[in-house]
């Protein structure tokens, strides 16, 4: 949804930016000048002890002098809380008491229906809360008391009770004006073509409301009171508001706690609702939980939006270890520089709820302090058998590490992981060989020269360092000074000449990872300029970028595009043409990047299979590589043809002008 610049400016004027940010940070009393609207705090985007995060109400902007982040109301909410831009606008509008402008009729109708569903769920939540305190909720209250929950905690998490009856909730909501279709759309009743009369989904269960990023009830988890019920816990079914694999229980509350000392700046993912609630009552307010299933890719992404290194906490039994190892594979694919996970393993037979209820928070704090980095978990998993007494087994172990590290998407992180595993493997295998000597060519045992072996390893390390330095000086790394590929130039110049794309295609633009370093910096500055949602005109964008030292670089981009005749990137192109050209070029660009990565991974697999003597795998891998290479070459030729045609056309035009 697009918003008018005047409307966004009105929201900024109505709501001081300190009111938005103040819900997430604790202002420093010594440096803050309240009367001037000048605020200071420890930065919520990176860990620090000295306040370097500055916020000015007059300008409606924030800036951290430590990590460099900056922006306005909406940028703060999208970056820190993980809200989409429309959600951030809606959040500030609610604070201002201003209604959002009506979008197109169909979108407005969908938004109205969603809002109505939220109202119905809020009514249901209050109903469940009231029934927990009523006479038929006595058994549920006793259960919660036995679990050690205080009345304050029950109220904080809005726990409730669904009475044991087929139509009690349905009839209550109908009496309050909720329509049949709305009740069904909320997932509160079981219905369908084979069910003559719908009935309450949750019956005789303790109810756990599940909140959205804006802390609105969007679904429920229910725990059965009867021991005879096969499913002890059930969740709401998937609805317009709720997608189980994309939600974490207690995430909004945990995000706020991340900035506190107790959370040590991270979010902890535990197994279930009761673990989260028990930890909160013990003073550990930064815990979240998936909704009855293993952690999903979307949920891990939510964790990474909240903190660069979340802690995944698992039970110390065999099932917990298996779950941890599954999470290892999930995390590896999403690693980036500065973004990882840690693993906390609980004592055997204990879950977080048991631990803090029986012994207080100290044992759980100790578990978090001992959390292992992801690399340790990779090593533990692959060496779990512990028996590598033959060359074949050692070769298999080495191949296993190669496969594990190959799934890491980021090239830099993948390289460092591969090196780390090689170093561990070398030390591990060396420590498991006979001490005091080596075996000679004839099989006889000879005296070992450990100093010579160490020197050899040192020489290899020196060669690695030398090679790294050489690589750092190479044109591949120095590419920031080189002109980008025509496709990268076309994408960047389209956005520069048509900055409305930053609003219309914000998710696509912000996700671009240019290989050319200067182009990446240029795009980041352009995103900063438009972070508030107001799409500047072309002149304002060019003036901003020229001030950042990009004027000559942009001139070279324009010259390159003139040669390739990508007219949709030009200033003269209509916005819709520019947008269509941008989307098509971006699809080709992403496909080329994916093929290049796939090609590199296949080449590594072939090298590893060749070294390990896996004769069956090599032909299949070669066939796959040939197929990928052909498609990659086709894309490259297509780009080269376009570039060559543009250069030739430029020469023809030049000759005609003589």
Per-residue pLDDT of 293-317, as tens digits, reads 789 998 998 888 778 899 999 887 7
**pLDDT for 270:** 95
Considering the domain architecture, whether residues 501 and 643 belong to the same structural domain is answered as yes
Task: Tell me the per-residue pLDDT of 581-592, one tens digit each, with 9 for 90 and over.
Answer: 888 888 888 888
Going from the C-alpha of 406 to that of each of 280, 335, 425, 577, 625, the distances in angstroms are 39, 12, 16, 39, 15
The answer to whether 419 and 344 have CB atoms below 8 angstroms apart is no
Percent of all residues in the chain with a pLDDT value above 70, rounded to a whole number: 83
Q: What total number of domains does the chain contain?
A: 5
Q: Which residues pair with 211 in a beta bridge?
A: 217
Considering the domain architecture, whether residues 283 and 326 belong to the same structural domain is answered as yes
CATH number at residue 537: 1.10.860
- Cα gap 592→42, rounded to integer Å: 42
82-96, 196-210, 253-267: range with highest mean pLDDT: 196-210
pLDDT at position 290 over 90:
yes
**pLDDT for 403:** 92
pLDDT at position 643 over 70:
no
Q: Which residue has the higher pLDDT, 401 or 450?
A: 401
Q: Helix, strand or coil for residue 235?
A: strand
The answer to whether 628 and 591 have CB atoms below 8 angstroms apart is no
Considering the domain architecture, whether residues 86 and 170 belong to the same structural domain is answered as no
**pLDDT for 572:** 83
Q: What is the pTM of this model?
A: 0.56
Tell me phi and psi for residue 233, to 5 degrees.
-120, 135
CATH number at residue 324: 3.40.1360.10
| Average pLDDT for the chain | 80
Going from the C-alpha of 69 to that of each of 45, 64, 94, 102, the distances in angstroms are 8, 5, 25, 32
Backbone Cα Rg of the chain: 29
- CA 223, 227, 229, 235: dihedral to nearest 10 degrees? 10
Of the candidates 380, 395, 418, which is a domain's last residue? 380
Relative to beta strand 70-71, strand 160-162 is unpaired
Considering the domain architecture, whether residues 602 and 488 belong to the same structural domain is answered as yes
Q: Residue 460 domain-assigned?
A: no
- Cα gap 299→433, rounded to integer Å: 43
- Cα gap 378→534, rounded to integer Å: 45
CATH number at residue 58: 3.90.580.10
Q: Which residue has the higher pLDDT, 406 or 636?
A: 406
Of the candidates 213, 242, 271, which is a domain's last residue? 242
pLDDT at position 335 over 60:
yes
Relative to beta strand 233-235, strand 268-269 is unpaired
Q: Residue 574 domain-assigned?
A: yes
pLDDT at position 647 over 80:
no
CB-based burial, 364-397: b 16+ in 10 Å, e otherwise: bbebbeebbebbebbbbbbbeeeebeeeeeebeb
pLDDT band for position 432 (cuts 50, 70, 90): low
Considering the domain architecture, whether residues 494 and 551 belong to the same structural domain is answered as yes
Q: Residue 627 domain-assigned?
A: yes
Relative to beta strand 268-269, strand 311-314 is parallel
Considering the domain architecture, whether residues 221 and 286 belong to the same structural domain is answered as no
CATH number at residue 157: 3.90.980.10
Going from the C-alpha of 60 to that of each of 15, 45, 91, the distances in angstroms are 9, 18, 16
pLDDT at position 428 over 70:
yes
- Cα gap 255→213, rounded to integer Å: 10
Q: Residue 456 domain-assigned?
A: no
Mean pLDDT computed over 52-78: 89
Percent of all residues in the chain with a pLDDT value above 90, rounded to a whole number: 34
Considering the domain architecture, whether residues 271 and 338 belong to the same structural domain is answered as yes
Q: Which residue has the higher pLDDT, 642 or 534?
A: 534
Q: Residue 461 domain-assigned?
A: no
The closest of 203, 24, 13, 186 to 116, measured between CA atoms, is 186
Q: Which of 188-197, 225-234, 618-627 has the lowest mean pLDDT?
A: 618-627
Considering the domain architecture, whether residues 117 and 87 belong to the same structural domain is answered as no
Mean pLDDT computed over 66-86: 87
pLDDT at position 445 over 60:
no
Of the candidates 33, 67, 96, which is a domain's last residue? 96
**pLDDT for 619:** 76
Residue numbers of the domain that contains 422 = 387-432
Relative to beta strand 217-224, strand 287-288 is unpaired
Q: Where are the beta strands (DSSP E) in 290-330?
A: 311-314
154-163, 318-327, 450-459, 528-537: range with highest mean pLDDT: 154-163
Q: Residue 449 domain-assigned?
A: no
Going from the C-alpha of 344 to that of each of 41, 303, 338, 368, the distances in angstroms are 30, 15, 19, 6
Relative to beta strand 205-211, strand 233-235 is unpaired
Question: What is the helix (H) or strand (E) element at residue 598, kind and residue range?
Answer: helix 575-612
Considering the domain architecture, whether residues 574 and 601 belong to the same structural domain is answered as yes
Q: How many residues does the chain have?
A: 658
Mean pLDDT computed over 522-537: 68
Q: Residue 80 domain-assigned?
A: yes
Tell me phi and psi for residue 367, to 5 degrees.
-65, -45
Q: Which residues pair with 439 in a beta bridge?
A: 445
Q: Residue 464 domain-assigned?
A: no
The closest of 375, 385, 387, 381 to 422, measured between CA atoms, is 375
Considering the domain architecture, whether residues 627 and 519 belong to the same structural domain is answered as yes
Considering the domain architecture, whether residues 496 and 642 belong to the same structural domain is answered as yes
**pLDDT for 655:** 37
pLDDT at position 275 over 90:
yes
Q: Which residues contact 350 (CB under 8 A, 6 or more apart)?
A: 315, 316
Task: Tell me the per-residue pLDDT of 84-103, one tens digit each, with 9 for 90 and over.
Answer: 888 899 999 999 888 888 76
Q: Which of 234-243, 530-539, 632-641, 642-651 has the lowest mean pLDDT?
A: 642-651
Considering the domain architecture, whether residues 223 and 127 belong to the same structural domain is answered as yes
Mean pLDDT computed over 16-30: 91
């Amino acid at each position: 949804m697009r918003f008018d610049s005047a409307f966004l400016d009105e929201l900024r004027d109505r709501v001081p930016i300190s009111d938005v940010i103040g819900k997430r940070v604790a202002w420093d009393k010594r440096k803050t000048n309240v009367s001037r609207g000048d605020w200071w705090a420890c930065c919520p985007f990176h860990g620090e002890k000295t306040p370097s995060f500055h916020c000015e109400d007059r300008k409606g902007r924030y800036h951290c002098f430590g990590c460099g982040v900056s922006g306005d109301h909406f940028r703060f909410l999208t970056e820190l809380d993980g809200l989409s831009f429309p959600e951030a606008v809606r959040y500030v509008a609610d604070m201002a008491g201003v209604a959002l402008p009506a979008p197109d009729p169909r979108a407005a109708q969908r938004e109205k229906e969603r809002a109505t569903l939220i109202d119905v769920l809020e009514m249901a939540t209050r109903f469940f809360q009231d029934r927990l305190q009523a006479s038929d909720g006595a058994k549920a209250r006793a259960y919660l008391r036995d679990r050690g929950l205080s009345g304050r905690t029950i109220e904080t998490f809005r726990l409730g009770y669904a009475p044991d009856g087929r139509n009690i909730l349905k009839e209550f909501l109908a009496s309050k004006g909720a329509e049949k279709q709305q009740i069904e759309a909320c997932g509160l009743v079981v219905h369908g073509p084979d069910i003559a009369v719908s009935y309450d989904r949750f019956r005789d269960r303790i109810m756990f409301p599940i909140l959205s990023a804006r802390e609105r009830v969007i679904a429920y988890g229910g725990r059965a009171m009867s021991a005879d019920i096969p499913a002890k816990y059930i969740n709401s079914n998937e609805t317009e508001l709720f997608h189980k694999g994309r939600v974490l229980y207690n995430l909004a509350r945990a995000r706020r706690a991340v900035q506190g000392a107790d959370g040590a700046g991270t979010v902890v993912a535990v197994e279930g609702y009761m673990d989260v609630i028990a930890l909160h009552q013990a003073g550990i307010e930064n815990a979240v939980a998936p909704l009855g299933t293993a952690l999903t890719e979307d949920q891990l992404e939510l964790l990474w939006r909240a903190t660069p290194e979340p802690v995944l906490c698992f039970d110390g039994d065999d099932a917990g270890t298996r779950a941890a190892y599954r999470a290892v594979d999930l995390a590896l694919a999403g690693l980036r520089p500065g973004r990882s996970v840690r693993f906390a393993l609980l004592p055997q037979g204990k879950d977080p709820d048991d631990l803090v209820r029986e012994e207080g928070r100290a044992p759980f704090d100790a578990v978090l302090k001992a959390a292992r980095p992801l690399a340790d978990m990779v090593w533990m998993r692959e060496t779990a058998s512990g028996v590598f007494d033959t060359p074949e087994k050692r070769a298999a172990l080495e191949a296993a590490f190669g496969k594990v590290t190959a799934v890491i998407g980021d090239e830099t992180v993948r390289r460092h992981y591969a090196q780390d595993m090689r170093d561990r493997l070398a030390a591990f295998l060396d420590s498991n060989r006979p001490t005091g000597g080596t075996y000679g060519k004839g099989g006889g045992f000879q005296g070992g020269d450990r100093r010579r072996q160490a020197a050899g390893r040192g020489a290899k390390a020196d060669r690695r360092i030398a090679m790294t330095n050489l690589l750092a000086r190479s044109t591949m790394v120095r590419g920031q000074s080189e002109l980008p590929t025509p496709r990268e130039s076309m994408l960047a110049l389209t956005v520069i000449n048509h900055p409305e794309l930053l609003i219309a295609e914000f998710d696509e633009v912000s996700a671009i990872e240019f290989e050319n370093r200067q182009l990446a910096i240029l795009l980041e500055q352009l995103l900063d300029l438009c972070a508030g949602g107001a799409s500047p005109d072309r002149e304002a964008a060019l003036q901003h970028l020229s001030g950042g030292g990009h004027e000559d670089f942009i001139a070279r981009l324009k010259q390159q595009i003139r040669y390739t005749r990508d007219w949709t990137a030009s200033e003269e192109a209509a916005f819709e043409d520019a947008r269509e050209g941008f989307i098509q070029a971006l699809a080709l660009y992403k496909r080329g990047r994916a093929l290049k990565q796939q090609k590199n991974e296949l080449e590594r697999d072939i090298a590893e299979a060749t070294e390990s003597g896996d004769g069956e795998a090599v032909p299949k891998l070669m066939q796959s590589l040939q197929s990928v290479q052909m498609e990659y070459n086709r894309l490259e030729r297509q780009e080269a043809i376009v570039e060559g045609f543009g250069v030739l056309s430029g020469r023809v035009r030049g000759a005609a002008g003589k």
